[in-house]
Every structure is written in structure tokens, then in C-alpha cells.
Chain A
Amino acid sequence: QVQLVQSGAELKKPGASMKISCKASGYTFISYYMHWVRQAPGQGLQWMGIINPNGGRTTYEPRFQGRITMTTDTSMNTVYLELSSLTSEDTGVYYCARDARWFDPWGQGTLVTVSS
């Protein structure tokens, strides 16, 4: 079955960078774009960006522009999300989700905590 498995929880200090992963299985990896979505504690869902695994083309939500990078490793069927210059406001659960004009399925989420 189609499955997205994300990397484990991370604790980061303010100013640091994070890099988390999302490994896909059960379908042809390069045939579907992948999204990243963030959810701060007690808050709603926030779209961060999308990557085309077939070539690596990306589109980012403007508020993250300049400190976000999405990449892909087609040999590992994995997409990565990097976010730099972290602040406490970046604390939250980060989800990857496969695109088909909608988000399905979703990864299990990766909790990133930014704290000194």
C-alpha cells in the first residue's frame, strides 16, 4: 500500500537548521509531487511547499522563501525538507503528503522542537 514514513523527532537550538525526511513506498515515486505541511502546537495546518521528485522543481510558500529547501533522492524514494534560521515559532509537527490535487496519504509527522 502507499506509505510515507518520516524521520524521527528533533530538538534544535534557535538559529540552527533542521533537515527531515519522508520515504515513500507502494507507488512510482517520480509520478507524484510531494507537499510539506506544518502544524504548530494547538494551531492549524500551514502549507509550506511542493516538490516534483522528477527533476526537483519546487514551489515554496512565500513566507518561508529564503530559508526553506526541498530536495529529493530518487534512488532512495525520499524527499527532504530543510529549514534554516530556526526560531521558537518553527516548533511544530511537520508532515509530508503526496499530491494528487489533494493531500493523500500523509506521513506520520515529525515533531521539531526549537528551544535553547
Chain B
Amino acid sequence: QSALTQPASVSGSPGQSITISCTGGSSDVGGYNYVSWYQQHPGKVPKLIIYDVNYRPAGVSSRFSGSKSGNTASLTISGLQAEDEADYYCCSYSSSTGSSTRVFGTGTTVTVL
């Protein structure tokens, strides 16, 4: 199955807001509210920051928010901070193969200018 499509890179200045898109199809992003987002700093383990499209786990900053429209999910980081510089991956439940699987996005590198 093909990876979900994310922009390769997004950048912003401290304090700004940025949005990362994650585009799939009707058998994954568009068909289920099971999109999650992960932050990964270099050499580190991925960290869950959004689940079920727009829910934040305990301890995750409220500057992170998620949404979905049709086949595209989005992650918004508001009040951008230096510590937000990392790679971000979306992931969706998928039924494209006829079984219940998962598919990750291609990943987006966020740079804080």
C-alpha cells in the first residue's frame, strides 16, 4: 500500500503557526477517524502527539492540534518554538488491502527559522 502524502518540509519563525497536511484516500484517512501524528527528534523514538484525528495525549502541549477534511488530515503547530524542530509523521488505519492495516505518511521535517 502507498504511503500517505506529506510535504517534505515546512518552516516557520518562532511564534508563528504552521500546518502539515497528510493526504490519503477513502480507504484510509477519508474513511476512518483513526489518524494519529508522531513527532521524532533526530536519533530518538517517535512520540505520539495526536490520536483519533484531534485528541492530545496527556502531557502534550496544547500548541499541537489536529483536524481532518475529506481525505486530508492536518497537524497545526501554533506558537512555534525551537523545540518543535523535528520530523512529523501521520498514520492512519487502512482497509486498502482488504485487511485492517496501518499506513504512515512520508514524513515532514519542520524547521524553525
Contact = CB atoms under 8 A, between A and B. Distances in A.
Interface of A: 35, 37, 44-47, 50, 59, 61-62, 95, 100-104, 106-109
Nearest to A93: B45
A102 B36 contact: yes
Which A-B residue pairs are the 7 nearest by beta carbons? A102-B36, A44-B107, A102-B51, A104-B48, A45-B104, A47-B102, A106-B45
A95 B45 contact: yes
A61 B45 contact: no
Nearest to A97: B46
B64 interface: no
> B89, B100, B101, B107: which has the most chain A beta carbons within 10 Å?
B101
Contacts of A50: 100-102
Interface in B91-109: 91, 93, 97, 99-107
Contacts of A61: 1, 101
Contact of A108 (B45, B51, B101): B45
Contacts of A103: 36, 38, 46, 48, 91
B45 A101 contact: no
B103 A47 contact: yes
A41 B64 CA distance: 27
A45 B1 contact: no
Nearest to A99: B102
B46 A101 contact: no
A104 B39 CA distance: 12
B101 A47 contact: yes
Contacts of B91: 45, 47, 102-103
Nearest to B103: A47
